[in-house]
Amino acid sequence: MRKIVFSLALSLYSILSIAQATASSAILHHVHQLQNPLRVLYLAAHPDDENTRMISWLANDIGAQTAYLSLTRGDGGQNLIGTELGAELGILRTQELMQARNLDGGQQFFSRAVDFGYSKNPEETFEHWDKEQVLSDVVRVIRYFRPHIIITRFPPDSRAGHGHHTASAMLALEAFDKAADPKAFKETNLEAWQVSRIFWNHSSWWEPKLDSIAANDPTYYVVDVGTYVPELGLSCNELASYSRSQHKSQGFGVAVDRGSQNEYLKLMKGEAPESSIFAGLPMNWKDYGYPDIAEGLAAIEANFDPQAPYKSLEAILDLHAKLRMNAGKRILESRYLVDQLNQLAAECIGLKLEILAENEYVVGGEKPKYTARAIQRSPLPIQIEKLSEWKSEYKAKTGPVDLSTNVLMEAPLQGDILDDEMVSSQPYWLRAPYEDMFSTPVADWQLKPETAPYGGAQVSVYYKEKAFSLYVPVRYKFSDRVDGEIERPLMIVPELTVKSNTAKLFFLDDQAQELNLDFRAFKAGKYSISLMTEGWEISPSSFELNFEAKGDWQTQKLSIKPKMGAGPTSLIVLQQKKEGEETQLIPLQNLVEIDYPHIDKRMVLENPGISLYPLNLKKKGEKVAYIVGAGDKVPEALVQMGYEVTILDEQSMRETDLSQFQAVLLGIRAYNTQDWLWQRQEQLMNYVKAGGNVIVQYNTRARNFQGTDFAPYPFSISRERVTEEKAEVRFTDAEHPLLNRPNKIVKADFDNWVQERGLYFADSWDEAYTTPLAWHDKGEPDRLGGLLIANYGQGAFMYTGISFFRELPAGVSGAYRLLANMISYETGNP
């Protein structure tokens, strides 16, 4: 088992939620929130589906414990701020949710469902998801969190607009009953729980006349979520706006809302309340059977001194002691209140505890160095537990240490890192292979939204004879000359990782190509490396690396050539490691770091995914230009096709002669994200007139344009898409030059596509366009708007919703051949 073992002079802590100084008014707000035992669960399908206004209002005005259950982590979405897709995007969007909850005051849960991309109906959704598993997860969260109210973002029908959305409401309604049935889902090992009522958070998106409908329908309830919170100096919808804007990868930044704002809740199941949605529910601890808690919290609020918040410490600790003595009575409520009172006590004395790692990365077998820090800013005689040794199994106490007022205490620590992948920094849901459902077994700890921080200590803090405790995870901190202090989690990593300069290597002939492998050592020393593949010549096939210092990089150049009849294969990079008399072959992984200013940095270990493909591909021209949109890996694929790629931005576009390029390609959502493009339309159209090809990958339909503005002939962008990756393709004109030159496109080129055929197709267009491809999802008519081609002057303009941004990184050879034909297209053969 991998553990962290400290030889401690002092065990201390830093975590964002309680490490920062807390204003007196915010402490008072915290006390106010704790006086309401009500719990509300908001439920939807994806990160960014949640109504942050509702969550913020419930948490900050009503004071309810409020949580959001997102069935997925958003793995199947797009990314407006980077190139992360799939599992990496899921990690990014998980962190965006965590930051959103830090701002609006909610908690966060997930199920094991994987976001496999857009789904048109719940039937298709449940063809991918194991419905019983997802339902079990929803029931588990309900029984664990025990909400009095559930609110869904979507209706349980086609109005939800996405199969995942509809499915989320259907599952919520079914779980409403199943969670209360003690015979259902016994494997959760949690007590059955009856939710009182479930609402749908209706919106004018679906019904513009919702005001009048709600006024005349007794199943609707209206709440004002724009209320002002004096202790915070903000309204609930202001907080919600900041929370919403954390979903940056999806482009959900919003203007800050202020003022009264109504939300509409339609009762779907449960007893109809006579007045408010909270009627008949416990809104204070006295009604919930805890009169002593109600009295204690009310007294703390009534006697709170904002100039001396430390005066409330004794009353907080008295209440804390009562709860601990009665913890067995109601475990959930006691656990929550004890945790909150721990935090409240720390806030009142200005306590900041940290354990800081000397290095950001550690590996098994190391004895890393740490620094423990503690400071409290009250005049009270505060002491902190001193430990001579700390382990997960026991604590050996040697007496408390005084924390003088406003004096920073520091002490060096020494730790051992032992081996156990269950406490590594790899996200727990990615530790086992999966397809449409994460296959990690569910345990109680996995009700947490992400892997717990690695390492740390539960530290007791004393005032007189009373005590409270805080968990202190290890963090890494450094200072940047521009951004100032930056804090990150401690990363538990392998001793050696590898990545390549390209994940997919395509061979247009039998000539050798070079591949660079970049090795990163997190432990100094010598490493023996061997390479494995079938049907390919690799030189060198084995080699030695010597790293003098941890953190160093080394690059190894390889020459790779297909043998006669070689087929697609993967290149496996192995570390040869001696264990006694035996030699182990350990597959090396790629360390991907997901680091943006608005999230807490995370990492993921992935198969380096180095794939070798013999590709029957012909092309015309040598140079292409690319204008980056929302972020994709198409430019790397173009290099693999043998093109010299020039990335154009606003300045270089002004200065570059476009006539040198065989084609100019625009990345996904380029017109949605690059405002300057609108000023370069004349330049692009002149390039087409003179014989160039402009290829625009999909854009989303926006208010300021619908397609006409950036094309030589009008067309309109829709939300039409073909989500079935195996949907049969039909050639509407088999003789069309784009399907025949320089590569003969056949139906086999559309095998092995991933996630979808395409999205944001055109739904109407000028007769100048031809549409050589058609396909459709089950039960729908052909969609022809996935590829529009129009001759214009001596060149051609194309709009495509085909998901090249997914298919090319996945190594779909037919997508490469089709794109080569688009780039090579000549208008002389219409």
Residues 45 and 74 in one domain: yes
What pLDDT, on the 0 to 100 scale, is given for residue 441?
82
Give yes or no: residues 457 and 543 share one domain. no
Is residue 7's pLDDT more than 60?
no
Residue 451 pLDDT > 90: no
* Helix ranges restricted to H, 476-530: none
**Residue 343, in any domain of the structure:** no
HSE toward the beta carbon, residue 497, CA cutoff 13 A? 23
CATH code (residue 548):
2.60.40
Task: Examine residue 286 and state whether it is found in any structural domain, yes or no.
Answer: no
Which domain CATH number covers 152?
Answer: 3.40.50.10320
Residue 588 sits in the same domain as residue 648: no
Work out whether strand 663-666 and strand 715-717 pair parallel, antiparallel, or are unpaired: unpaired
Torsion 690-696-699-701 (CA) sign? positive
3 pLDDT more than 70: no
For the purposes of burial, counting CB atoms within 10 Å of the CB of 84, is it exposed (0-12), middle (13-18) or buried (19 or more)?
buried
Say whether both 510 and 638 belong to one domain.
no
Residue, of 34 and 385, whose pLDDT is higher: 34
Q: Give, as one character, the DSSP assignment of residue 150.
A: E
pLDDT above 90 covers a percentage of the chain that reads 80
pLDDT of residue 290 exceeding 50: yes
Cα separation, 176 vs 269, whole angstroms: 8
How far apart (Å, rounded) are the C-alpha atoms in residues 171 and 399?
53
- Residue 352 confidence (pLDDT) above 80: yes
Q: Burial of 274 by CB count in 10 Å (0-12 exposed, 13-18 middle, 19+ buried)?
A: exposed
**pLDDT tens across 12-35, in order?**
223 333 334 579 999 999 999 999
- Compute the average pLDDT of residues 414-424: 66
| 3-class secondary-structure state, position 598 | coil
Give the DSSP H or E segment for 65: strand 65-70
Task: Give the gyration radius of the chain's Cα atoms.
Answer: 30
- Tens-digit pLDDT profile for residues 151-196: 999 999 999 999 999 999 999 999 999 999 999 999 999 999 999 9
Clarify whether residues 276 and 171 are in a common domain: yes
Separation between Cα atoms, residue 767 and residue 305, nearest integer Å: 75
Taking a C-beta distance cutoff of 8 angstroms, is the pair 536, 670 a contact? Answer: no
Task: Please tell me whether residues 609 and 649 are part of one structural domain.
Answer: no
In three-state secondary structure terms, 83 is coil
Q: Are residues 554 and 516 in the same domain?
A: yes
Question: Is there a single domain that holds both residue 258 and residue 119?
Answer: yes
Residue 418 pLDDT grade (very low, low, confident, very high; cuts 50, 70, 90):
low
pLDDT digits (tens, 9 = 90+) for 308-319: 999 999 999 999
Reply yes or no on whether the pLDDT at 459 is more than 60. Answer: yes
62 lies in some domain: yes
Q: What's the mean pLDDT in 777-788?
A: 96
The confidence score (pLDDT) of residue 12 equals 27
| Cβ-contact 31, 301 below 8 angstroms | yes
815 shares its domain with 670? yes
pLDDT at 368: 86
- The more confidently predicted of residues 17 and 421 is 421
Q: Flag whether 313 is in a domain.
A: no
Last residue of a domain, one of 452, 477, 492: 492
Q: Residue 8 pLDDT > 70, yes or no?
A: no
Q: Of 613, 634, 669, which one is at a domain's C-terminal end?
A: 613
User: Do 165 and 221 sit in the same domain of this protein?
Assistant: yes
Give 420's pLDDT tier (boundaries 50, 70, 90). Answer: low
Q: Quick one: average pLDDT of 378-407? A: 71
553 and 430 within one domain: no
Mean pLDDT, the chain, rounded, equals 91
Among 241-250, 334-343, 487-496, the minimum mean pLDDT is found in 334-343
**Spatial contact of 809 and 638, defined as CB atoms under 8 Å apart:** no
**712 within domain boundaries:** yes
- Whether residue 151 is found in the same domain as residue 54: yes
Q: Kindly tell me if the per-residue pLDDT of 830 is higher than 50.
A: no
Specify the number of domains making up the chain.
4
Are 743 and 817 a contacting pair, CB within 8 Å? yes
| Mean per-residue pLDDT, 612-619 | 90
User: What pLDDT is recorded for position 412?
Assistant: 83
Q: Is the pLDDT of residue 211 over 90?
A: yes
pLDDT exceeds 70 at position 122 = yes
Write out pLDDT tens, residues 494-511. Answer: 999 999 988 888 888 888
Helix pair angle (24-34, 331-348), 10° resolution: 170
d(CA 102, CA 17): 8
Last residue in a domain, options 472, 492, 512 = 492
Residues 810-815, mean pLDDT to the nearest whole number: 92
> What pLDDT score was predicted for residue 632?
85
Question: Does 287 reside within a domain?
Answer: no
Tokens 């269950």 correspond to: 422
Indicate whether 606 belongs to any domain: yes
Q: What is the residue range of 700's domain?
A: 618-824
What is the full DSSP assignment across 440-471?
SPP-GGGGSSSPPPSSEEEEEEEETTEEEEEE
How do residues 64-78 score in pLDDT, each as one tens digit?
A: 999 999 999 999 998
Q: Has residue 9 got a pLDDT over 70?
A: no
Within-domain flag for 312: no
Using CB atoms within 10 A of its CB, is residue 316 exposed (0-12), middle (13-18) or buried (19+)?
buried
